[in-house]
Amino acid sequence: MNFQYYVNYIAIVEEGSLTSASNKLGVAQPALSNQIKAMEQVYNTRLFHRGSGSHRLELTETGRILYEKSKIMVEAENSAKNEIANHVNGTRTILKIGVLDSLDSRGLMALINEYSEQYPETEIVLREASLDELIKMMGSGLIDASFVRVAELPQYEDLDVIFSLHDYLVACYQKDVFFIGNNSPSVTISELAKFPLCVSGKNLPLMRTAFREQGSMFMPRFVGPDTNACLLWAKAGKGVALVPLLSIRMHGFSDLKYKEIQGREFDAASFSMIAHKRQHRSETINKFLNICAEMGKSAHFPISPEGIFSDKQ
């Protein structure tokens, strides 16, 4: 089937009518109608609901699937053309990195900055999306690697974890409000029980179990929707937030202090750089991944516990 059909199909869906798509594409409306019929024959399914009573075209579920796949195919085609043209013409190379949409990109920017200093001629493109979308984009070659935060990736056998930074929960607080005069690097659960506490809904069951095991009742003052909300609460001096260590700097709260929690380590999802095993890796992405691996091993990476977080109170 003609590749242009997919380009036209995207326009038809996004314009919502054959008339609008015809005007945008400069293609006669009957020709677009025939293209839709041809695609429905190829895929043996209806792409649009007929007789819906609305002037706007309404996608079927299979039509929606084809629309999403068409966007990936067209974007991959355009990306390939641009990269090949750049290579043939000897112009700039392109580094395409994905970042999980729930992450703050500041930690990634340290890697980007290091790469940019070493390879200033390379164009760098960041794409933000969900984990599933990032994996699809890596499989299609739309991005070269992704910066994510996940506990594990057992269901994604086609992925390589280039480096991963272990993370765990700590007690984070505004230094001028709590633990004044207390220079211990850690705190017990019984001590924590005396303070107004904050935790995300995700980590609430974990902390309830831990406190119960120590004979204490976990009664948080605030249960936040996410780590960032908990850090904002701690920043305001409202209490002590139980948050992942690496998130303190990643979310831009490096002025806050923290103490480790005695008795056990409360694991949190690690930060990882992942890439697709089966995709060809260009020299450009290999250089970036090498920088990631080296910085991940050293104290120079700004979210490394051995580096930036060595100043705990």
Closest CA to 138 of 270, 4, 3, 273: 273
Residue 170, pLDDT score:
92
Q: What whole-number percentage of the chain has pLDDT above 90?
A: 23
Residue 276, pLDDT score:
80
- Confidence tier at 274 by pLDDT (50, 70, 90): confident
How far from each other are the two terminal CA atoms of the chain, in whole angstroms? 65
Span 156-162, average pLDDT: 74
Lowest mean pLDDT among 12-16, 28-32, 266-270: 266-270
Indicate the angle between helix axes 18-25 and 29-43, nearest 10 degrees. 110
Q: When comparing pLDDT for 307 and 78, which is higher?
A: 78
Residue 151, pLDDT score:
56
pLDDT at 89 over 70: no
Note the pLDDT tens digit of each residue in 39-84. Answer: 999 999 999 887 655 567 888 999 999 998 888 888 777 767 766 6
Residues found in the chain: 313
- Structural domains present in the chain: 4-73 (1.10.10.10), 77-164+270-297 (3.40.190.10), 166-268 (3.40.190.10)
- Confidence tier at 224 by pLDDT (50, 70, 90): very high
DSSP 43: H
Span 127-149, average pLDDT: 83
In terms of average pLDDT, the best of 5-9, 66-70, 74-78, 235-239 is: 235-239
Q: Are 147 and 100 in contact (CB under 8 A)?
A: yes
Beta strands, E only, the chain = 94-100, 123-129, 145-150, 159-173, 186-187, 197-200, 222-224, 240-244, 257-261, 267-276
User: C-alpha distances in angstroms, 297 versus 40, 162, 205, 302, 304?
Assistant: 52, 11, 32, 11, 9
